[in-house]
Amino acid sequence: MFKEIISYLIKGILIGVANVIPGVSGGTIALITGILERLLNVIKNVVSFKAFKLLFKGEIKDLIQVIDFNFAFSVTMGVFIAIISVAKLFKILFAEYPVYIWSFFFGLILASVYFVTKQIKHVNIWNIAFFIIGTSIAVLIAVLKPASENKDLFYIFICGIVASSAMILPGISGSFVLVLMGNYELIMIKAINDFDFSVLIPAAIGAILGLIILSHILSWLFKNYPDQIIALLSGFMLGSLLTIWPWKNVIWKTNSLGEYILNREGERIVEKYSWFIPNKINQEVIIAILMILLGIIIVWLLEFYAKKTHNNSYEKSF
């Protein structure tokens, strides 16, 4: 039991780390580590009529079993630890070593696409179509123009709904959705680091609502259309590689005079990204390639561990 709890805690930390980084999906990590469907069921059951009935009757032992408490608590604590601690760390890493960090996650997602698509039992025209649709949606999200920062409470609430929904969808980054909505730095960096509850509370309320709604939908889809939903999510993951591509330049918003447009804090606003391929092999490129390989190896080890311990939820369910 103790080993399982530690394992779930580590997986929660990995999910939390992914959710902090624009372009990386916590749902992808949950899918890779084999806990996505179980996580969706937990979210769904926590707010179910059965759970509230057991709580009202004081039947705590049965309630703990229904909501899968040990699993839920361990993963939640892992996510919380990661978000609180990693927000500051990754602010530094992305400022100092952006290419290396993006390279690592590029390798992570690239290998994940292969292992996740292996879970599809039947390859047919419909599953291929869902895969293409998922890829197209993720690519479209990657090329959308980011919005400007908006501190309106209702808009922050909506950001929480949309971002939390994206956070449990493999291949669609909740943090990157916040970038597109213009509020990534406000919510994920400033509010967390400064404990700004005027921002965190409406965002959290929206996030909880988004998780509840999408968990019910995805849980039903996994039960009734497993191959199709895995194909769609695999496509999301493949398309997200464009966002995660290590070599890209930030294009900042400017006015008609070519001057940078600043937000309320006096900081430049992202207009879009431009991707490029390095034209020569240097130390940075070599290290980046090694980081890509490291990401691939880690996914392979996770897959190997999942099979060895029979802890992969897809093997159990399908």
Distance CA 7, CA 123 (A): 32
Q: Which residue has the tokens 């680091």?
A: 193
Could you give the number of structural domains in the chain?
1
> Residue 112, SS3?
helix
Region 253-267 average pLDDT: 68
Q: Which residue has the higher pLDDT, 119 or 285?
A: 285
**What band does 311 get if pLDDT is binned at 50, 70 and 90?**
very low
Task: Provide mean pLDDT across the span 270-292.
Answer: 86
- The mean predicted confidence, pLDDT, of the chain is 79
Pick from 181-195, 231-245, 267-281 the range whose average pLDDT is largest: 231-245
The secondary element (H helix, E strand) that includes residue 250 is strand 248-252
183-213 pLDDT, tens digit each: 777 787 778 777 888 888 999 899 888 888 8
Highest averaged pLDDT of the listed ranges 22-31, 85-94, 118-127 = 118-127
Residue with the two structure tokens 């372009």: 23
* pLDDT category of residue 234 using cuts at 50, 70 and 90: confident
> At 318, is the pLDDT very low, low, confident or very high (cuts 50, 70, 90)?
very low
Q: Average pLDDT in the 211-236 region?
A: 83
The one-letter code for the residue type at 139 is V
**Looking at the predicted structure, is the pLDDT value of residue 19 above 50?**
yes
Are the C-beta atoms of residues 101 and 23 closer than 8 Å to each other?
Answer: no
pLDDT exceeds cutoff 60 at 309: no
Q: What is the pLDDT of residue 291?
A: 94
More confident of the two residues 55 and 168: 55
Q: Measure the CA–CA gap between 313 and 65, rounded to whole angstroms.
A: 18
Cα distances from 23 to residues 123, 174, 184, 210, in angstroms, run 28, 8, 11, 19
- Reported confidence tier of residue 312, pLDDT bands at 50, 70, 90: very low
In this model, does residue 173 exceed pLDDT 70?
no
Whether the predicted pLDDT of 306 surpasses 80:
no
Residue with the larger pLDDT of the pair 146 and 238: 238
Highest mean pLDDT among 115-124, 143-152, 299-308: 115-124
290 vs 101, more confident: 290
Write down the pLDDT at residue 175: 66
What is the token pair recorded at 223? Answer: 């039960």
DSSP state of 146: P
**How far, CA to CA in Å, does 119 sit from each of 26, 115, 181, 273?**
19, 7, 33, 33
| Tokens 């309630």 belong to residue | 63
Check whether 23 has a pLDDT greater than 60.
no
Specify the DSSP class assigned to residue 195: T
Looking at the chain, list the stretches that DSSP marks H as alpha helix, in order from N- to C-terminal side.
Answer: 2-20, 26-32, 36-46, 49-57, 60-66, 69-96, 98-117, 125-143, 153-167, 174-181, 184, 192-194, 197-224, 226-239, 241-244, 283-309, 313-317
* pLDDT at 286 exceeding the cut of 90: yes
Question: Across-strand partners of 273?
Answer: 250
List pLDDT tens digits, range 138-163: 888 777 766 666 788 888 898 888 77
265: pLDDT confidence band, cut at 50, 70 and 90?
Answer: low
pLDDT value, residue 89: 77
Q: What's the pLDDT at 184? A: 73
How would you class 125 by CB atoms within 10 Å of its CB: exposed for 0-12, middle for 13-18, buried for 19 or more?
Answer: exposed
Containing domain of residue 16, as a range?
2-317
